[in-house]
Structures are given as structure tokens and as C-alpha cells.
């Protein structure tokens, strides 16, 4: 065993002083969630009443030496302790004993001894395992705690320059305050510590809507089991019924295979086209209208993040006006109460008449629907609440439309339906009110191949608008070879992936 050879008695006499100091040093660094250092952060010890700010590297230190009266029996002398490769050395000039306790990393005491004067003790006689240990040393009512390794060294003097540590007052905490970030308060058990903290950016306060990437907002159904009674099971889902006014309405739900009632799931409503049924978008033989369930979105849900829902129109058409809107609202409320969903990420999608109904809903349900994706929307056969019931609020929207559509006119959708949404979606002004972005025009397809998806630049980023044009007719499975004909097949559509990416940005 290598023995330390330093002259401790000489060191102790050099460091003699008239009183005993009780000191503390709290230091550390502050950064944001991306690890970027934050300067100018206010750092305060609440009980001690001490404060500082971080430098431009995010570093801070709060240090204080407190001169107090000499401890009875200490006679103004100082102490010195060290650990060198397992050898504990001590030196102090008074008759007051030095009490030493050593604990292993599990908190079990492995050494306890009362020492007098100066000397050394080989801890290897009582410490069997190599590793990290914790020591508690006290002289009178002052004490010092430190950590050491059996193969390393630790040296400390009891002096005004390197004093015995001061215990934190009960309830002591350190607080970090910075503009644009949530205030962070960290409880402290000791005043000798080094902290590495990260501050979370404060979510902006909006007059309406959520920030991009907001935390999920769990529904009432989280943590509970559904009490819904299904009418029957169908391929890839279950059928349910609900009374809306005087009508019995059918709807279908498909849960992910790994559904977890403690995880808030996103929800996608699929709204069918003229003459179809809700069940057609739960399961169907593949064709150009139904390549995969729920407009191709279920197959892209690789992690089971979504609950899929399909509503059934009476007689195959969405012509009930307020009744259809009430159907959607009641179905969504029922799902919120029986399943764990993220109420801030409810999406709708539909083709043709289903697109018209989606367009109608998204201008009435902005507080409940985050975004809509439509295919061949038309600016007719659209029912909207009138007067004071009309909600003049923004909504995120994506539309895919064939420029040769002979049933839902492309130009009418571009020149009427599109600017109506843009008028409400412009970037918020200083008062938080949304501005008019309807003067911006989309880039469009030219020619007979390919497609163009244009993202509007003057809209609020939380309410994006994407306009996709392609050289096709009235179908939602857009592809890059123009109308159906040579070289066309429904499996070549790029639409599901583009829509999935649009929804996933929220």
C-alpha cells in the first residue's frame, strides 16, 4: 500500500485562523432542451436569499464563506483530511475529536471511528471492494461530506478558503428563471452541489389553436375501459350505432392491435363519397377508390398511433346539414369518453361528396378538428351554419384535385373554396388575430404528367394549407401518368403518403 508522505502538521499550522468558516458552493450549467447553453438565466437560492445569473456559456456559481464563532474546544485551529489510494489522513490541532463515518454506494456503513490529533488510517483494512464511497466527517458541530474512489484521492482543508460544508436549510431549493422558458425549481438537500439543468421553452399563448408539436391532450376515456356495445364485428373493425335527433346513425371503429388505454391516440375520420357506405372504407376489395382501408392511411400507421373511424351517411349522401354535423360531434364525444385519444389531434379526410362534407365540418369544428385532407373538394353542396353560428377561425387543410375534373370543378375549388380558407389562415398579427392570406396563389401542374403540391407561405405555420394539382379527372387516387389509361394502376398513387406526412407534422 502506497502511503502519502505530505507533512500534514505543517499544513495545519499554516492554515490556522481565529474562527471556523461554514461554506457552500452551488454551481452548474443551464441549457435548453436541445443542449444550447442559456446565458442570462436568473439563478436563486430561495432560503439563503442569494442569486446570480448564468454567463454566455450557461455557467453559474453561488458561493459563500460564513465566518462563525470558534466551536467550543476547537481553539481556533483548523483541520486537514485526505484520502489517497484508500489511506485516510487527518490533522487538527485541538482536543476536539474527529468523527469519521464511511458508507458504500448502497448506503451501508463500512467504517466508523473517532480520531484524535493527527494520523492516518488504512481504509483498505475495512473496505473490501474497489469503487466509490462516501465519507461523513464531523468536528464538533461542523461537518463535511465527500465522495472518493478507493484508487483515487481527495484532499480538503477546514479553513476559510475550503471550509466545512453548510447544510441546506429545510425546504431549500434553487430556482431558474428565463424569459421564454418555464420556471424550474429544484429541491436541494445540500448546498455543495453541481447541477446540469435543462429548461423547457414556454408554450406560446395563442388566442386559438395549439403549437406545432404540442404535448398530447388526453381524453376522458384515458385509463378506462370502453363501455360501448357494438352492433357487430366487421372485417377490420366493429360497427356501432348512435341516436342523433330522430335518426339511428351507424359508424365504425378500428383500434390498433396494440391499443393502450393509457396512451392518447390520434383519431382519423374517413368520410365516404356519394353512393358509398361507411363500411366501404373499413374494408373493401382494392380498386381505384379503395386501395387500402381508410383512404390508405391505416397501412401507413406503423406504430399503432391512430384510431380510425368511418361514418355512414343516410342514403349514401351527406345532405342532413346540421344533423350530419351533430352526428360527427356526438360520435367524436362518444369516442373521447370511451377510448384514450389525443383531443388535439383529430383529423378528417374524404373524397368527392366526402370532401364536401369534410370541407363543411372543418369550417364548423375548428376547436375539435386539427386538420383536414380532402380529395376533389367542390364549392357547392356544402352546408354551413349561418349567422352567429358560423365560426370564423383558421383550419389546417390539404386538398388534392385533378385539373381535368369534370364533376367537382377544379377552377371553382381553386378560385372559391381555397381563398375562403386562406382568408382566415394568415399569420397572426401583434394582437394574435389571424390575417388574410387569400392574395397568395398556388403553383399548379402544367402538362399531362406529374403533380405539384404547393405549401402556402403567408399562412400561420400552425394552420398550413397545401394545394396539390395533378393532370387527372374525378378520382382521389392521383398518380403521375394523367388519366386512367396506358401505364395507370391504382397502386401507383402518391396521395396516402403525402396526406400521412401532412397529418404527422402536428
What pLDDT, on the 0 to 100 scale, is given for residue 100?
81
Under-70 pLDDT residues of the chain: 1-23, 65-81, 91-96, 117, 128, 139-143, 152-167, 204, 387-390, 482-490
Beta bridge pairs of residue 397: 372, 465
> Do 355 and 332 meet the contact criterion of CB atoms below 8 Å apart?
no
- What is d(CA 93, CA 355) in angstroms, rounded to the nearest whole number? 89
- Give the cell for residue 31: 441549457
- In 3D space, the residue among 265, 293, 267, 268 whose CA is nearest the CA of residue 279 turns out to be 293
Delimit the CATH 3.40.50.1820 region(s) of the chain: 232-504
Please name the residues in contact with 136: beta carbons below 8 A apart, sequence gap of 6 or more: 100, 101, 102, 103, 143, 144, 145
290 touches 261 (CB < 8 A): no
Res 377: pLDDT: 96
Backbone φ and ψ for 226, nearest 5 degrees, come out as -65, 140
d(CA 199, CA 46) in angstroms, rounded, equals 18
Note if the pTM is more than 0.85: no
Confidence (pLDDT) at 285: 84
Of all residues in the chain, what percent are helix, strand and coil, respectively (each to 5)?
Answer: 15, 35, 50
- DSSP for 231-247 reads SEEETTEEEEEEEETTE
Tell me the fold of 232-504.
Answer: Rossmann fold (3.40.50)
Of the candidates 221, 213, 224, 305, which has an alpha carbon nearest to the alpha carbon of residue 257? 305
Closest CA to 17 of 88, 90, 97, 92: 92
In 3D space, the residue among 310, 309, 273 whose CA is nearest the CA of residue 288 turns out to be: 273
Beta strand spans in 272-395 (E): 306-311, 341-351, 371-375
What integer pLDDT is reported at residue 5 of this predicted model?
31
Query: Which pLDDT belongs to residue 411?
Result: 97
pLDDT of residue 182: 92
Q: Residue 313 has what pLDDT?
A: 97
Distance of CA 443 to the CA centre of its chain: 34
As a residue count, the chain comes to 506
pLDDT at 72: 35
Asked if residue 53 lies in contact with residue 121, where contact means CB atoms within 8 angstroms, the answer is: no
Nine-digit cell string for 120: 492516518
Q: DSSP labels for 392-455?
A: ----EEEEEEETT-TTTTHHHIIIIIHHHHHHHHBPP-TTS--B--TT-------SSS--EEEE
C-alpha to C-alpha distance for 498 and 280, rounded to whole angstroms: 22
Amino acid at each position: 500500500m502506497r502511503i502519502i508522505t505530505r507533512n500534514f502538521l505543517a499544513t495545519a499550522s499554516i492554515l490556522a485562523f481565529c474562527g471556523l468558516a461554514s461554506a457552500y458552493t452551488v454551481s452548474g450549467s443551464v441549457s435548453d432542451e436541445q443542449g444550447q447553453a442559456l446565458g442570462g438565466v436568473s439563478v436563486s437560492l430561495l432560503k439563503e436569499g442569494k442569486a446570480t445569473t448564468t454567463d454566455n456559456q450557461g455557467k453559474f456559481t453561488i458561493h459563500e464563506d460564513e465566518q462563525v464563532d470558534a466551536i467550543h474546544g476547537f481553539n481556533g485551529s483548523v483541520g486537514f483530511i485526505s484520502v489517497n489510494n484508500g489511506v485516510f489522513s487527518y490533522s487538527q490541532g485541538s482536543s476536539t475529536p474527529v468523527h469519521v463515518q464511511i458508507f458504500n454506494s448502497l448506503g451501508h456503513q463500512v467504517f466508523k471511528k473517532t480520531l484524535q490529533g493527527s494520523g492516518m488510517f488504512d481504509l483498505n483494512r475495512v473496505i473490501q471492494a474497489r469503487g466509490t464511497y462516501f465519507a461523513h466527517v464531523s468536528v464538533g458541530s461542523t461537518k463535511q461530506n465527500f465522495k472518493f474512489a478507493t484508487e483515487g484521492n481527495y484532499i480538503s482543508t477546514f479553513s476559510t478558503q475550503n471550509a466545512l460544508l453548510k447544510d441546506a436549510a429545510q425546504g431549500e431549493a434553487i430556482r431558474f428563471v428565463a424569459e421564454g422558458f418555464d420556471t424550474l425549481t429544484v429541491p436541494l438537500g445540500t448546498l455543495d452541489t453541481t447541477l446540469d439543468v435543462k429548461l423547457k421553452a414556454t408554450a406560446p399563448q395563442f388566442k386559438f389553436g395549439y403549437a406545432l408539436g404540442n404535448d398530447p391532450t388526453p381524453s376522458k376515456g384515458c385509463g378506462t375501459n370502453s363501455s360501448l356495445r357494438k352492433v357487430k364485428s366487421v372485417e377490420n373493425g366493429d360497427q356501432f350505432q348512435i341516436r342523433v335527433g330522430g335518426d339511428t346513425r351507424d359508424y365504425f371503429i378500428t383500434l390498433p392491435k396494440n391499443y393502450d388505454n393509457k396512451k392518447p391516440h390520434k383519431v382519423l375520420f374517413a368520410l365516404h363519397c356519394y353512393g358509398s357506405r361507411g363500411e366501404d372504407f373499413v374494408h373493401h376489395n382494392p380498386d381505384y377508390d379503395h386501395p387500402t382501408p381508410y383512404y390508405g392511411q391505416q397501412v401507413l400507421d406503423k406504430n399503432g398511433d391512430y384510431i380510425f373511424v368511418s361514418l355512414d351517411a343516410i342514403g349514401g349522401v351527406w345532405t342532413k346539414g346540421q344533423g350530419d354535423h351533430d352526428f360527427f360531434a356526438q360520435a367524436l364525444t362518444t369516442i373521447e369518453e370511451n377510448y384514450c385519444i389525443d383531443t388535439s389531434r383529430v383529423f378528417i379526410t374524404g373524397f368527392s361528396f366526402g370532401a364536401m362534407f369534410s370541407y363543411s365540418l372543418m369550417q364548423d369544428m375548428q376547436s375539435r378538428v386539427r386538420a383536414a385532407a380532402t380529395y376533389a373538394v367542390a364549392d357547392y353542396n356544402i352546408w354551413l351554419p349561418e349567422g352567429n353560428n358560423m365560426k370564423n377561425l383558421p383550419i389546417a387543410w390539404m386538398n388534392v384535385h385533378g385539373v381535368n375534373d369534370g364533376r367537382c370543378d377544379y377552377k371553382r375549388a381553386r378560385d372559391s373554396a381555397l381563398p375562403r380558407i386562406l382568408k382566415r389562415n394568415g399569420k397572426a398579427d401583434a394582437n394574435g388575430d389571424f390575417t388574410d392570406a387569400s392574395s397568395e396563389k398556388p403553383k399548379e401542374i402544367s402538362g399531362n404528367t406529374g403533380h405539384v403540391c404547393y405549401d402556402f407561405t403567408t399562412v400561420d405555420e400552425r394552420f398550413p394549407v397545401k394545394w396539390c394539382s395533378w393532370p387527372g379527372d374525378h378520382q382521389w387516387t392521383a398518380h403521375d401518368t394523367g388519366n386512367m389509361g396506358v401505364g395507370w394502376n391504382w397502386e401507383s398513387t402518391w396521395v396516402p403518403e403525402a396526406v400521412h406526412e401532412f397529418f404527422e407534422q402536428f
